Structure 1
């Protein structure tokens, strides 16, 4: 754990310094696009934060590789991760490709077909070198042939990349949601390896997760509202790529046949948790695809109807919308983690984890819908304070129903 924390801290410091440098250079050379109609921010803001994040991640991986070469120390078993250097290089190569595509899109606005093709190539690089879904935690069932495994892996990575990119619309949203999700996933992968390999806690999934945590933590201060720097497509796609890769790397480490019925849900966590921590991006992605296809548009065309936009339209402030999505992510991710931790480490039935998750859902729902109730109360108060309309003269209503002119009240004059 000490090494993981040191790697996260180093990556955070490098990313923060790199973000400051990228921000200053972007302002100096005007490396920022014009404000688009769907944008929420009101002033031109640099979008190259993904470059600083990538540099921080490179330094994090480089530091881990350096430690692996130190020889017989208490950190020497980290070398197991680097026994297959081609695997690490393929992940970093895919990350570099995604960052280059993202930077080009942030500067020149590439068409969606070009971006999608680049995403498939990057995902193919990861699957090509062995980071792929080879088995599922359902009795250790293998995923068919190697081609089927690679295909499922590639489509999973591309799906997660686009899901993360789709929610990148508010200051600090992607960085915070991914920070929470990766923090929970790192804890899960670390605890899982304690169960499956008690003499070696180091694994590829945890390394990717902790380095990404450092990059997100180092970038978030400049991305907090009002943001000085955006991560852009380069950063959002990079985050999605690494989150998907770490989830795929941990898949299949638990066999349900080796655990009791009370721990059965925990056996499926390698599949459930990666999607649970990404439930907000995946939900937004699915709704956007359906919405755009129904409108006869490309599923990758931009609009202003994402979940975060809807929260703003409901009456939430920018900060409140971001914090609400943080809350939903934390409740789902931590709740799923507790379904593993309670029975395995404390002997507590997983029911109590679901109960806590249900309470969290109720709280998040109440906070999310609060502006609607406040709007109804204001509308009711406004209706109560409106002046009563002037009553019609006696007989006017009856005359109107007969089509006759209303009689003026008599004044005694002729």
Structure 2
């Protein structure tokens, strides 16, 4: 019941924060203008939606700590500071990018600093063993040039999750909806007997409430966008929840599997063709589904469904089962990609005739 209460509180705070953030975005002219071929909206839409999620999450968390701080007594204060400072860095960097359209080499600064804040605070750095789905474990109890392998892994994981949701944010409600599904999955996983982490469950359900409150305004037709700050914040928070007390990395990867594979494919393709891996284009899966005739809502709901299915599946699988699920996910991704390309070429050929 307590979890439901704080979900509702975060949801309501987010609902109340969004109109305020929208007014601020209009006032400071932080808007997404439909002046690019990739844009699928036809009118200016305010950015800065991530600030509503940020405000809702941390205000609700403060309220939770005021009354139930004993639940978090086992967590060092520096973990919370690392999470807050990292998120704040993304808010500042995202605002500057949304306002001034920073070049890619400048955009990467805030995600890198946010990931470093996590590592420096010690979040997840104590993870020295990762389960091997084929049996046994991967040992991270060694150093590379004096830096622990665990710290390197956490840095790469957090940065990768940040960019996954950043690149996913190309359609109304897509990144926010899938992140809400991921947050809810982490919540239920944290309550299972084999994980049993009430702290992570509390953080995940507060986060989910904040995101769902924002999604009310972000689902198609959206009246506000996440912006750079919001799209990076989502991946950052999910990464932190996954490594805070260990045991949930594979779940996060599976729930976010389609976007992760999509990002990996698009980046590899850009590098292959000699373009910047950070240069935006319309080669992402959600754009391909849109191009072959699905509406925005249909595309988003398809990807919601896939994320939800794999989220539910991961709640009942052990390591080997998760590997099999990942292979199935790769197969699904490949089928969607091939089908979208074939249908798109057929439609293009039909138009030319």
TM-score, structure 1 normalization: 0.73
Q: Give the match for residue 295 of structure 2.
A: 317
Contact 2:7 2:209 in 1 (8 A): yes
Q: Give the match for residue 309 of structure 2.
A: 331
1:27: how far off?
Answer: 3.4
Write the mapping of 1:334-345 to structure 2, written as runs, cut at 5 A.
334-340=312-318
Gaps of 5+ in 2: none
1:80 aligns with 2:73: yes
1: CA distance, partners of 2:79 / 2:165: 24
Residue from 222, 226, 230 that aligns with 2:217: 222
Contact 2:271 2:277 in 1 (8 A): yes
**Alpha-carbon distance change, 370 to 244 in structure 1, aligned in 2, over 3 angstroms:** closer
Q: Give the match for residue 264 of structure 1.
A: none
1: CA distance, partners of 2:339 / 2:300: 14
Residue from 293, 298, 301 that aligns with 2:271: 293
1:27 aligns with 2:26: yes
1:292: how far off?
Answer: 1.0
1:29: how far off?
Answer: 5.0
Contact 1:156 1:244 in 2 (8 A): yes
SS at match of 1:339: coil
Give the structure, 1 or 2, with the largest relative contact order (CA under 8 Å, sep 6 or more): 2
1:233: how far off?
Answer: 1.0
1:60: how far off?
Answer: 1.9
Write the mapping of 1:394-413 to structure 2, written as runs, cut at 5 A.
none
**Alpha-carbon distance change, 375 to 160 in structure 1, aligned in 2, over 3 angstroms:** closer
1:179: how far off?
Answer: 1.0
**Alpha-carbon distance change, 60 to 327 in structure 1, aligned in 2, over 3 angstroms:** same
TM-score, structure 2 normalization: 0.85
Over the aligned positions, Cα root-mean-square deviation in angstroms equals: 3.3
Q: Give the match for residue 111 of structure 1.
A: 103
2: CA distance, partners of 1:214 / 1:125: 25
Q: Give the match for residue 169 of structure 1.
A: 170
Q: Give the match for residue 283 of structure 1.
A: 261
1:5 aligns with 2:4: yes
Q: Give the match for residue 66 of structure 2.
A: 66
1:144 aligns with 2:136: no
Structure with greater Cα Rg: 1
1:37: how far off?
Answer: 2.3
Gaps of 5+ in 1: 70-75, 253-269, 344-349, 381-414
Q: Give the match for residue 98 of structure 1.
A: 90
1:123: how far off?
Answer: 0.8
1:213: how far off?
Answer: 0.4
**Alpha-carbon distance change, 152 to 29 in structure 1, aligned in 2, over 3 angstroms:** closer
1:333: how far off?
Answer: 1.9
1:372: how far off?
Answer: 7.2
**Alpha-carbon distance change, 15 to 88 in structure 1, aligned in 2, over 3 angstroms:** same
1:48: how far off?
Answer: 0.8
Contact 2:292 2:343 in 1 (8 A): no
